[in-house]
Chain A
Amino acid sequence: MGNSTILDLMISIVVAGFLFLMVIRINGGTTENTFIYGNNLTVQENLVSFVKIIENDFRLMGYCADYKKISDPSAIILSADSNRIKFITDVGSDGMLDTLEYFLGDSTALRSTPNPKDRPLYRNVNSDKTTVFLFGIIEFKFHFLSVLGDTIKPPITEPRSIHSISLTVGLESPAAYDKKYSSAYWRQLHLTSRNINNR
């Protein structure tokens, strides 16, 4: 009996050991999954929210509730570069002309996040103030095409020549689990407004 008890005890310790190892391993896996799924969700939700805003902004490029205020539909885009654009629009559809600018900041502006690649995106309405609109951007790149489909390479000295725009946006989570960052990408190949050159 004494031998049997000792054997039971030893088996129990081994089983318990296995179980503890499993629990630790599963706990680690669960934590990782929870973190990654959570990050994925956050990144994707941020991307979708951002894309909805930027699609709306770009499709209203050159729009004004008071159309008479758009005197030159070919001069809607004021300036453009590979990660910057400024154009005329009517934010809020109140009949007042506004300028809207998107541009990507420098990665050094987000040193507080563990992600070394993420950069801030700025969206300025009628202002030169640099208000961060979105964090976690790792790619925000425009590709401009002329009316004949030719690529217009920066620096763009004549923004009137821009006929359509493709935009690639990449987001990454600011923090990682085991150096794995969650990321999401979106690309629109033909982002333009019907108000450009409509007359």
Chain B
Amino acid sequence: MGKYSLILILGFSIVVLGLIPLIHGRASRSYENYIDYYESSQARNIAISGANFAANMLFQNSSASISYSNIQMGEGSFSISTTIQPDSTILLTSSGKFHRKNHTVEVLFGPSSFAKFGVYLATMGSIYWTTGDTVRGPSHVENILNVYGTPVFFGKVTTLNGTNPSILPNGPTNPKFYGGYQSGISVSMPPNLNNLQMAASSGGKIFTPPASPIGTYELYFKFNSNGTVSYKEYKGSIQLFDTTVGINQLAPNGVILVSGGNIKVEGTVNGKVTLCATSGSVSGTGKIYIKGNILYNDNPIDNPSSDDFLGLVAEKDVVIPLPDGFPGTTCPTNIDIYACVFSRTGKFYAELDYKMGKLGNVNFYGSMSSYTIGAFSAGSPSYGYSNNFHFDRRLLIETPPYYPKTNILEILSWKE
């Protein structure tokens, strides 16, 4: 019987010895499973780090050509490279490697335009966004963002020097940044409008003032819904020219520039056009006056695929003037403006007079960039217009021709 007991013990030992590796194997597979996940995560993190390195290089120098291989990072490595795509976008590829795992991150960069801002201000001065203010679309302040109460920002907000108050929320001040907020971002106004000048001189149209007669040089453009524009050329009170022509005939690339003069504009735009007023060395010029409603033939509110775009780019101010003959002629109750407004050194505002009384809205649909912030109403009781600004979301993708660029790249897509 002792012999059988030994056999029993031996048999049992063999069975246990067979089961232990099975149990051990399952424990090992659990560990391997964890290691596999860890290595995949590390490879991805390394690839992301590589992409961040390269993105920083591109933000510093947008024309940089990047190509680095096997840059060591911890126990892994990454390789980064950029390629220019047919549509002039830049594709950054970062491949991360960690032990057995590889991961690739692809980032697409493109040039950024001022048209992408619902509101861009070089400085807010002493003006605050306050409770009841709603800013739609991305916005930027190349200084300090003044906020009080609970203004609402639907797009991404960036500033160079943070906010005032510097720490948010602060007492009654708790702005709603629904699109995100980032400080330390610099998007400065271009030092000049030379790019538009060049575009107008090669494929566009430049108007320059004749030596005589004397007086301020002005171009009055009235856009027609059939794709033509009627324009009149003035020097002082003398009309020099009056014609109607297709936008594409007048400026095949869509850029119309008045050098050393002012522009007056209204009408219904059918096509893509940028009007630009530069002052040159002539004082009192470089302004754009919006004389009446500016509409798009194909309304982008009804049809987001509309391909009508108007850029109004001024060296100085963009102004909604009092009507000719005011106060004998009354101001329009509402003004509709569909356009991208850019005022390099001035502001976008309405000329105000207490005799105009309390009017309706400036219904603005587009993008507004200016050096300082302008007013559409004043006084107490107030007179002038309420502003009703809406951002044209098409501008995140497409802009009026040769609209000023920010000279920095933006991330169009990030695939990891």
Q: What's the least CB distance linking B182 to chain A, in Å? A: 8
Interface size class of B (residues with CB under 8 A): 35 or more
**Contact of A160 with B414 at beta-carbon distance under 8 Å, contacts A15-B5, A199-B116, A199-B156 already known:** no
Residue on B nearest A163 in the bound complex, by CB: B180
The 0/1 profile, CB within 8 Å of A marked 1, for residues 1-30 of chain B is 110110011001000100100110011011
Contacting residues, chain A, for B138 (C-beta < 8 A): 199
B148-185 CB mask vs A (1 if < 8 Å, else 0) is: 00000011100000000000110000001111110000
Q: CA of A199 to CA of B22 in the docked complex: distance in angstroms?
A: 54
Is the CB–CB distance between A12 and B1 below 8 Å?
yes
A193 to B1, CA, bound (A): 73
Q: Which residue of A lies closest to B26 (CB)?
A: A37
Interface-lining segment among A62-70, A118-126, A173-181: A62-70
Q: Does A8 contact B (CB under 8 A)?
A: yes
Residues of A within 8 A of B181 (CB): 147-148
Indicate if the CB atoms of B396 and A23 lie closer than 8 Å: no
Known: A34-B19, A48-B37, A199-B156. A71 touches B397 (CB 8 A): yes
Q: Are A41 and B414 in contact (CB under 8 A)?
A: no
Residue from B5, B30, B169, B393 within 8 A of A72 (CB atoms): B393
Interface residues of A in 146-171 (CB under 8 A from B): 146-148, 158, 160-161, 163
- Are A198 and B412 within 8 A (Cβ)? yes
A196 interfacial by beta-carbon distance below 8 Å: yes
Q: B414 to A40, Cβ gap below 8 A?
A: no
Q: A19-B12, A199-B412 are in contact. Are A71 and B177 (CB under 8 A)?
A: no
- Which residues 39-76 of A sit at the B interface, judged by CB distance below 8 A? 40-41, 44-45, 48, 51-52, 59-60, 63-65, 67-68, 70-74
Contacts of B410 in A (CB 8 A): 198-199
Give the most central of A67, A71, A74: most B CB within 10 Å.
A74
Any A CB within 8 A of the CB of B36: yes
B399 at the interface (CB under 8 A from A): no
**Bound-complex Cα distance A9 to B5 (A):** 12
- Contact at A30–B19, with CB atoms within 8 Å? yes
22 contacts between A and B (CB under 8 A): A16-B1, A16-B8, A19-B8, A19-B12, A23-B12, A30-B19, A30-B23, A41-B26, A45-B29, A48-B37, A72-B396, A73-B156, A74-B156, A147-B177, A148-B169, A160-B154, A161-B177, A196-B180, A197-B156, A197-B180, A198-B414, A199-B412
**In the A-B complex, the 10 residue pairs with the closest CB atoms:** A12-B1, A194-B414, A74-B179, A160-B178, A197-B180, A37-B26, A67-B412, A67-B413, A197-B156, A198-B411
